[in-house]
Amino acid sequence: MSLENMVIPEHVAVILDGNGRWAKKRGIPRAMGHKAGCETLEKMVRIASDAGIRYFTVYGFSTENWKRSQEEVGALMQLFRYYMVRLLKIASANNVRVKMIGDKTRFAPDIIKGIDDLVESTRDNTGMTFVIAINYGGRDEIVRAARKLVKSYQESGRDSESISEAEFASFLDTADIPDPDLMIRTSGELRLSNYLLWQMAYGELYVTDCLWPDFNKEELEKAIAAYNKRERRFGGRV
Ligand code: IPE
Ligand code: IPE
Ligand code: MG
C-alpha cells in the first residue's frame, strides 16, 4: 500500500493498547510488553513524521493507570526515564517538536525534569509535533481547564456568559493543537478510555485488532486508507 494520492490527516491520535496481551501471548512479563511497545513508539515517531502527519498524539499513561499493580507502574516509570532520553535524540534528528499533555505534577521530580528538558530542547523544531499524553485523563483535563477559567474570570470580573467553546478550549492542555482528524486504537477495544474527550467531538475512529507492539508502517497506512474512505461531517478536511 502507498500513501500516494491520499489525504494525510493533519492530526493522528493513538491509543496504544495491547502491550499486556502481546506479552501474555509470549508467556513473558507485562513489563516486557511495555518495553516492546516503547520500541514500536520510537519507530512510529519517525514513520508518522515521514508520512507527513503534522501532529501525532499518543496515550502513554492514563489517570486510571495508577491503579495497576505497583510493580507494573514502577516498570512503566523506569521505561519513561529510559525512553525520554532516547526520544530526545530521535526528535532532534527528525526535527520533531515534543509536547506533553496531562498532569505531570504527580510524577517523580527527575521525570518532570526529563519532560521539561525534552519539551524545552525541541521547542523550535519545525517538523511534526509529537504529543505525549501521560497522567492524562480527558475529564481531569476538563476539570483543570475549568479551574483556570474560573480563576481568570474571577480576576478580571468578566461576565461568565461570555465564555465560548473557543475560549474554554484555550484553557485545555491542547490549547495550541488542532483537534484530531483520526484516532487509532490498537488491540480491538471499542472505547475512548478517557482520551481526548473534548477534542474527539468529530474525529474519526479507527480500531484495529493489531496489538501495539506489532503496529508498523503498513498498519498506519491501512488506517489512513480507511480514513480516506470516510465521508466526514463537521470540521473535516477530507
Ligand atoms: C497499553 O497496554 C499500555 C498502557 C496502558 C500503559 P496495556 O498494558 O493496556 O495492554 P493490555 O490492554 O493489558 O493488553
Ligand atoms: C488506555 O489503555 C490508556 C493508555 C493506552 C495509556 P488502557 O488499557 O489503560 O484502557 P482500558 O483499561 O482498556 O480502558
Ligand atoms: Mg489495555
Domains of the chain: 11-137+181-228 (3.40.1180.10)
| 3-state secondary structure at position 54 | coil
pLDDT tens digits for range 23-66: 999 999 999 999 999 999 999 999 999 999 999 999 999 999 99
Distance, CA 205 to ligand 3 centroid (Å)?
17
pLDDT band of residue 236 (cuts 50, 70, 90) is low
114 lines ligand 1 (CB under 6 A): no
Partners of residue 136 on adjacent β-strands:
62
62 lines ligand 2 (CB under 6 A): yes
pLDDT band of residue 238 (cuts 50, 70, 90) is very low
Distance, CA 18 to ligand 1 centroid (Å)?
5
pTM, two decimals, is 0.96
20 lines ligand 2 (CB under 6 A): no
Look at residue 7 and tell me whether its pLDDT is greater than 80. yes
pLDDT tens digits for range 194-227: 999 999 999 999 999 999 999 999 999 999 999 9
Quote the pLDDT of residue 161.
96
- Give the DSSP letter string of 60-108: EEETTGGGS-HHHHHHHHHHHHHHHHHHHHHHHHTT-EEEEES-GGGS-
Contacts 24+ apart (CB under 8 A), 163-170: 169/198
Quote the pLDDT of residue 235.
61
pLDDT tens digits for range 108-162: 999 999 999 999 999 999 999 999 999 999 999 999 999 999 999 999 999 999 9
CB 115 within 8 A of CB 100: yes
Look at residue 2 and tell me whether its pLDDT is greater than 90. no
14 lines ligand 2 (CB under 6 A): no
Cell representation of residue 156: 478580571
17 is catalytic: yes
Residues near ion ligand 3 (CB < 5 Å) are: 17
Report the alpha-carbon distance of residue 85 to residue 69 in Å, rounded: 25
